[in-house]
Amino acid sequence: MSFSNDGEGHQTALSEINVTPLVDVMLVLLIIFMVAAPMLTTGVDVELPKADAPRMDIDQDQPLITVQRDQRIFLFDEEVSLDVLRQRLVTDERIRDVDEVFVQADEQVPYGAVAQVLALVRQAGIGKMGLVTDPLTREPR
C-alpha cells in the first residue's frame, strides 16, 4: 500500500488497482486459445471437387451433409442413412432454425448418390442449399 502526503503533514493511503496480474492472466489465456483454436475444427475427410467459385466461409455450427467416397452419408459429424437423413432434415431444430444446408461430396462419388441427397434436402423444404467445393488453383502468368 502506498501513502501520500496531503500537504499538512498527514499521510493518507492511496488505493490503486494493480493491473499487472490481470494483464498476465489475460496474456496466458490468449496464448491458450490461440493454441487450442486450430484443434477445434474437426470434420469428415473428403476429397472435394475443384471449381472456380467465390470463396464462402462456413460456420462451425452450420448444417453440413457430407457424402464420402464409399457413399457413406454424414450429417454434421454423425453417420446417417438416407432414411435417418430424411427424418433429421425435417425434425432437427438446428437445421430448421437456419433453413440452410451445405452439401459436400467427394469428387469420386457417383452423381446419383449426390442427387439423392439433394432431392432429400429439397423434399424437406429447406430454403437454401450450398454445394461445397475446393477452389481451383490458378497458375501464375
Per-residue pLDDT tens digits for 13-49: 767 788 898 999 999 999 988 888 776 655 556 666 6
Residue with C-alpha cell 430448421? 96
pLDDT at site 55? 61
- Split the chain (141 residues) into runs of 10 and give each run's mean pLDDT: 63 78 93 80 61 65 88 91 91 88 89 89 87 66 45
pLDDT at site 141? 45
At residue 105, what is the residue type? Answer: A
Q: How many domains does the chain have?
A: 2
Answer yes or no: do 26 and 64 share one domain: no
Give, as one character, the DSSP assignment of residue 75. E
- Sign, CA torsion 75/117/49/133: negative
* 45: in domain: no
* 44: in domain: no
104 phi and psi, to 5 degrees? -125, 140
In angstroms, the CA 104 to CA 132 distance is: 5
137 phi and psi, to 5 degrees? -90, 125
Answer yes or no: do 67 and 108 share one domain: yes
Answer yes or no: do 35 and 55 share one domain: no
* 8: in domain: yes
For the chain, list the strands marked E by DSSP.
2-5, 11-14, 50-51, 64-67, 73-75, 78-80, 100-105, 128-132, 134-135
Give residue 15's domain range.
2-39
**Nearest-5° Cα angle at 111, 110 to 114:** 100
